[in-house]
Amino acid sequence: MEFGWELGRQPVEGSGEIAVSQNVSPVRTTDLKAMKARGEKIAMLTAYDALMARLLDRAGVDVLLVGDSVGMVLLGYETTIPVTLEDMIRHTQAVVRGVRRALVVADMPFLTCHTSLDDAVRSAGRLVQQGGAHAVKVEGGGSVVPVVRRLVDAGIPVMGHLGLTPQRVHQLGGFRTQARSAEEAEALMTDAAALERAGVFALVLEAIPSGLARRVTQTAGVPTIGIGAGPHCDGQVLVTHDALGLTDGAPSFVKHYARLADAMVEAVTGYVSDVKAGAFPSATRSRGDAREEES
State the DSSP string of the chain: ---------PPPTTTTPPP--TTPPPP-HHHHHHHHHTTPPEEEEE--SHHHHHHHHHTT-SEEEE-TTHHHHTS--SSSTT--HHHHHHHHHHHHHT-SSSEEEEE--TTTTTS-HHHHHHHHHHHHHTT--SEEEEEBSGGGHHHHHHHHHTT--EEEEEES-GGGHHHHTSS-----SHHHHHHHHHHHHHHHHHT-SEEEEES--HHHHHHHHHH-SS-EEEESS-S-SSEEEE-HHHHTT-SSS--TT---S--HHHHHHHHHHHHHHHHHHT-SS-GGG-HHHHHHHH-
Asked if 206 is an active-site residue, the reply is yes
Q: Give the integer Cα–Cα distance in Å for 46 and 67.
A: 6
**Amino acid present at 110:** F
Residue 150 sits at the vertex; the CA angle it makes with 146 and 152, to the nearest 5 degrees, is 120
Among residues 86, 183, 206, 292, which one is catalytic? 206
Q: Give the integer Cα–Cα distance in Å for 159 and 144.
A: 12
Q: Give the integer Cα–Cα distance in Å for 19 and 11.
A: 5
Q: Which residues have a Cβ under 8 Å from the Cβ of 77 and sit 6 or more positions away?
A: 71, 83
Active site residues: 206
